[in-house]
Structure 1
Amino acid sequence: MSHDHPHPHPHPHPQPQPQLGGGPSGPPGGLPVNPALLTLLDSLPHENVPFSLQTIQLPSPPNAPPQQGIVVTCTEHQNSSCEICGVDFNALNYMHQFLRSAPAEAIPPPPNVQPPPQRAEMIKQLKEQGNTAFKSQQFPAAIQAYSKSADMALSRPPWELAALSRDETAIALCNRSAAFAFVNAWANALADAEAVVILKRPWTKGHFRKARALVGLERFEDAKQALIDGLQYEPNDKELNNFLKEIEEKLRQAEPQD
């Protein structure tokens, strides 16, 4: 009874950004040139500093093949930092080495580039593994798979669409809340459901999971309010309305009799 996808979620596509300049005379790769930015850069005071490029041996782990790198040095003394020449290229060399050795996800791609599909596919596969385990009533395995799916969604680089990460995370946590409920881990189920409500407030499934966890904790008034909050977005939601009737009946039965 996993409710991981109550309705289709369209994948947002970034809108093309207006180009501020450029053309056939622009830089290679078809990147647009902003004339105003170029004018600003040209107006900054600067001076030409002579430099040389030197090939050096880079430190490497034991038993690893030796590696070489290129550093910027002063021309006369071949030092990356030279008081005599009045230059310090250490920051430049550090940035160069970092960019060469950094993983691909540490460097933002050009604008309007779609994120690689591998992460989305892995998030989907982990979610489906969780669904399979859930249907087989293997709830610990389901919780583990949903946790990995949520972790991968939350680890998307910050320059990717935030809405995509929110959607993937909300689905994984919603499913994990259901799995926690089936092993009576009501506090965990409530924490996940509350996170889902924050991530996707109009999605009634999060409000339903929250109400169910609150019922497990015997907080019936809070559960009723959680359902009322969800019905603000979809007043005709059958699942929420039926659950609300059940809770109201429990509350009536708990009222003292005259």
Structure 2
Amino acid sequence: MAHPQPHPHPHPPAGMPGPGMGPGGPPGGIPVNPALLTLLDSLPHKDIPFALQTIQLPTPPNVPPQQGIVVTCPEHKQSSCEECNVDFNALNYMHQFLRSAPPEAIPPPPNVQPPPQRAEMIKNLKEQGNTAFKSQQFPAAIQAYSKSADMALSRPPWELAALSRDETAIALCNRSAAFAFVNAWANALADAEAVVILKRPWTKGHFRKARALVGLERFEDAKQALIDGLQYEPNDKELNNFLNEIEEKLRQAESED
């Protein structure tokens, strides 16, 4: 039966696997869903003859020669041929991209857990920062926390966003504390505000924000930051003690006026 609206992509002859496919179907042994295959076969299309041709790929200097496979018209061996009325350039480009793309650029199948290596590296960098912080080597701590946050933020978009948010919030919260110890109050405040945005119910972010605001002598704003945090944990001892200290400072300032 003829299909009314063709879509131009090549269909291999019977018994011949398509580019990148083995004799039994898709690579990696991924089973084909029969219902999906039926749906794809029902789409309007027309069979386009094609050939597979091995070519030399352009490589940078001092890189060994590499070969690749492209789809061409069978008669003229051209990926774009006006006489045969075919253009396989987009298909060949996508094939080469998928072959050379890093793993982060290609989404994995659904329900696949992210590889643990990134989480381990993020954790190790955070621990390096903690060790430097305890030794009062604050510039080194700031550098390690920055690398941990950058790696957390570079997670591929298909991984759980909550995982990246938690890792980033912890790294920035620790970096805010390190900035505070070197009196870089504006940087400490920026990190703390980012933590509050990423993980608002976490009282540690509100504490860091208040700490930076006190360093900037913005006591009323610091008081409000603590009140905001206490909405989530009214009995938080750290926030309540700090709030009492700030209120005492404000009372002293009023009495001096």
TM class by shorter chain equals 0.7 to 0.9
Structure 1 position 39, deviation (Å): 4.7
TM-score by length of 1: 0.86
Letter in 1 for 2:225: A
What secondary structure, in the 3-state scheme, does the structure 1 residue paired with 2:69 have?
strand
Q: Could you say what secondary structure the match of 2:127 adopts?
A: helix
- For 1:182 and 1:170, locate their aligned partners in 2 and report how far apart those are by CA, in whole Å: 19
Structure 2 SS opposite 1:176: helix
Equivalent AA in structure 2 for residue 53 of structure 1: L
Q: Provide, for residues 184-203 of structure 1, a one-character-per-residue CA deviation record: whole Å limited to 9, x for no partner.
A: 00000000000000000000
1:200 aligned partner, one-letter code: K
The offset of 1:238, in angstroms, is: 0.3
Which structure 1 residue ranges, 4+ long, deviate > 3 Å from structure 2?
26-32, 37-40
Q: Partner of 2:228 in structure 1?
A: 229
User: For structure 1, which runs of at least 5 residues remain unmatched after alignment?
Assistant: 1-25
CA–CA separation in structure 1 for the residues paired with 2:30 and 2:43: 26
The offset of 1:33, in angstroms, is 2.3
SS at match of 1:192: helix
**Equivalent residues in 2 for 1:109-188 (5 A)?**
109-188=108-187
Partner residue in 2 for 1:55: 54
Structure 2 unaligned spans of 5+: 1-24
Structure 2 CA distance for partners of 1:90 and 1:30, relative to 1, 3 Å = closer
Question: 1:52 and 1:242 mapped to 2: Cα distance?
Answer: 76
* Residue of structure 2 in register with 1:33 after alignment: 33
Equivalences for 1:229-248 in 2 at 5 Å? 229-248=228-247
* Distance in 2 (alpha carbons) for counterparts of 1:148 and 1:121: 13
Residue 109 of structure 1 and its aligned partner are, at CA, apart by 0.5
Give 3-state SS (helix, strand or coil) of 1:69's partner.
strand
CA apart distance, 1:105: 1.1
* Offset at residue 30 of structure 1 (A): 5.3
Counterpart secondary structure, 2:45: coil
Mapped partners of 1:172, 1:205: distance in 2? 12
> 1 or 2 for the larger relative contact order (CA 8 Å, sep ≥6)?
1
Letter in structure 2 aligned against 1:79: Q
Alignment RMSD, CA only? 1.6
State the 1:257 CA deviation.
5.4
| Residue-by-residue CA offset, 1:50-88 (whole Å, 9 max, x unaligned) | 000000001111121110000000011110000000000
Farther-moved stretch of structure 1 (182-191 vs 61-70): 61-70
Structure 1: how far apart are the matches of 2:149 and 2:256? 47
Distance (whole Å) between structure 2 residues aligned to residue 38 and residue 75 of structure 1: 26
| Structure-2 separation of matches of 1:34 and 1:205 | 52
1:94 and 2:89 correspond: no
Structure-1 residue corresponding to 2:15: none
Aligned to 2:6: none
CA distance in 2, matches of 1:33, 1:44: 16
SS at match of 1:255: helix
CA distance in 2, matches of 1:89, 1:205: 56
Distance 1:192 1:72 in 2: 51
Q: Distance in 2 between matches of 1:108 and 1:233?
A: 36
- In structure 2, the CA distance between the partners of 1:129 and 1:49, relative to structure 1 (3 Å rule), is same
Superposed, 1:53-92 pairs within 5 Å as 53-92=52-91
The whole-number CA distance in structure 1 between the counterparts of 2:60 and 2:41 is: 43
1:38 deviates by 4.2
**In 2, distance between residues paired with 1:246 and 1:193?**
20
What CA distance in whole angstroms lies between the structure 2 residues aligned with 1:75 and 1:169?
Answer: 53
Q: How many aligned positions are there?
A: 232
CA distance change for structure 1 residues 70 and 121 in 2, over 3 Å: closer, same or farther? Answer: same
TM-score (norm 2): 0.87
Opposite residue 33 of structure 1, the aligned amino acid is N
